[in-house]
Amino acid sequence: MFMEGKEKLGGKLALVTGAARGIGRSHALRLAHLGADIVINDIGLESYKEFGEKISAPTVVDEVSALGVKCIGIEADVSNKNQVEVMFKNVLDEFGHIDILINNAGGLVGEVFQSFASSVSEKDLRATIDRNLMGTIFCCQEATEPMKTQGWGRIVNTASQAALQAQQGGVYASYGVAKAGVIAYTRYLAQELAPYGITVNCIAPAYVSTHRLEQKVFSIPGWKEQYLAQIALGRMAEPDDISKVVEFLVTDLGDYVTGQCLSVCGGVIKF
């Protein structure tokens, strides 16, 4: 049976981590358009202000609520297991169920040119692994039992092109290692949870045009032009390009897809 619009995810509850700006915000808005109630998680619910991202309401929670679904915001650091446990307890107390988990929170800790495999500091390496891999694991573990009990669930983790191929010059090594762990964890979890009607997949975006990226990475002279030359489709991804793939994985369109890592890169070609 084909479903359209808000029928696709009506009655479902989706928790999106790192959703107060950028790609996570895009995921939350798209899932709300499809009818899901939304939990916005971020380490700071006003993080959109950090890089000057413009939103259409006073907060991202207000933006999502304006789409006619229920939405709450929860500040929590997903790399902190205790905070994750409290967050999921609050979600279950508020909604009674969790159907969709989008593990979007992450990012490189430290400077790009201090992320080499041979020299990245222990502090930056551990923090990058905690933010990307451990945060994903903690959230998946908390979502597993409620989803198993109801016999249905959709989990989408976030990897990166940096996990699939070494970046030019060797930068982003610490980030790539953490995201490679996310891919492996996704595959193991998918095998474990498939008998319970739960699919687990991940996406591997390349660079996505966000305010944060423009200011932190593409401010390096020549970096953006060099990267654009490698994209077969000839343009940068927008956040919604990534969210459309998430829609596929959490709706009926992706019912028979699990344990996969989908590359969302516009055909990036490494020279």
Domain spanning 5-264: CATH 3.30.950.10: no
What is the pTM (predicted TM-score) of this model? 0.94
* DSSP structure class, residue 130: I
**pLDDT-derived band of residue 107, with 50, 70 and 90 as boundaries?**
very high
Tens-place pLDDT, residues 218-257: 777 777 888 788 899 999 899 999 999 999 999 999 999 9
Lowest mean pLDDT, pick from 4-13, 150-159, 172-181, 242-251: 4-13
Strands 153-158 and 261-264: unpaired
Percent of the chain with pLDDT over 90: 78
Read off the pLDDT band of 61 (50, 70, 90).
very high
pLDDT value of position 2: 42
Cα–Cα distances in Å, from 40 out to 43, 75, 155, 223? Answer: 10, 8, 16, 32
Which active-site residues does the annotation give?
175
Domain boundaries, the chain: 5-264
Distance CA(92)–CA(113), nearest Å, equals: 42
| pLDDT at 4 (0 to 100) | 57
Backbone angles phi, psi at 8, to 5 degrees: -60, -45
